[in-house]
């Protein structure tokens, strides 16, 4: 939306970061089989701008499952409104911790 962009039509990095966090949170919740919270972003790279009208897709891959945390690599790709080519625009390494009913870290079941 226009409120998510600067005057040049580039989407704010924070908006894209939140989309990546949402995508990673879905996979982390599935992995932890319950509630999770983001505790760190260990790495983040912005390769290309995202522009108003771009179709954004986030792809997630589990990198590591610890005792209470899961680390997920997330890439964002766009399909520009003009043309059909896809481009990787960001990549990051997000860490989520599994939480119990009291919002304290809990062990993740190792399958």
Distance of CA 39 to the CA centre of its chain: 13
- Could you tell me the pTM of the whole model? 0.91
Phi and psi at residue 17, to the nearest 5°:
-60, -40
Question: Torsion angle of alpha carbons 64, 43, 37, 1, nearest 10°?
Answer: -130
- Tens digit of pLDDT for each residue in 66-100? 999 999 999 999 998 777 789 999 999 999 999 99
- In 3-state terms, what secondary structure has residue 30? helix
What residue ranges do the domains of the chain occupy?
2-98
Indicate the CATH number of 2-98 among 3.40.50.300, 3.30.1490.20, 3.10.129.10, 3.30.420.40. Answer: 3.10.129.10
């Amino acid at each position: 939306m226009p409120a998510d962009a600067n005057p040049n039509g580039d989407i704010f990095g924070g908006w894209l970061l939140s989309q990546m966090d949402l995508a990673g949170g879905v996979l982390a919740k599935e992995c932890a089989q319950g509630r999770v919270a983001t505790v760190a972003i260990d790495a983040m790279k912005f390769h290309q701008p995202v522009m108003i009208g771009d179709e954004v897709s986030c792809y997630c891959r589990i990198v590591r499952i610890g005792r209470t945390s899961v680390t997920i690599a997330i890439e964002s790709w766009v399909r520009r409104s003009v043309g059909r080519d896809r481009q990787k625009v960001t990549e990051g390494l997000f860490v989520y911790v599994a939480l119990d009913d009291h919002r304290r870290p809990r062990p993740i079941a190792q399958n």
